Structure 1
Amino acid sequence: MDRVISASAAPALGDVRAMKTGDTVHIDETAPQRRDWTRYADAIAHAVRRGADSRWERR
């Protein structure tokens, strides 16, 4: 499953944390502008520990 995090939209934090091997979280370059970015960064780290891939998307 693929999920996208950007400044204007993101999946639920629990959905990101539940990601695992075979899943990819796409992080838009605007994502760090989110007020809750640190919470998403933690969720992404959790997903990566579970085997998910993370990719920065540059425009």
Structure 2
Amino acid sequence: MKKLIWFTVLNTASMALLIASRLTSETEGFDWFIFISAILIVLTLIHFFVERNKLNQLK
């Protein structure tokens, strides 16, 4: 369970920092890095809750 929590925290933090670094850039139009990072954060959180439920059922 600790490995799952650390994976989720580190992955979410790295994607959040990527989004924060891209928000200050002055690109015109749609920024794909922000979109992909946001999708990866959502997928990581979904993965966390699915795996947590699987681990809780094993107890």
Tell me the TM-score normalised to structure 1 length.
0.34
Which one scores higher on RCO, CA 8 angstroms, separation ≥ 6? Answer: 2
Kindly indicate which of the two structures has a greater share of residues assigned to strand.
Answer: 1
Kindly indicate which of the two structures has a greater share of residues assigned to helix.
Answer: 2
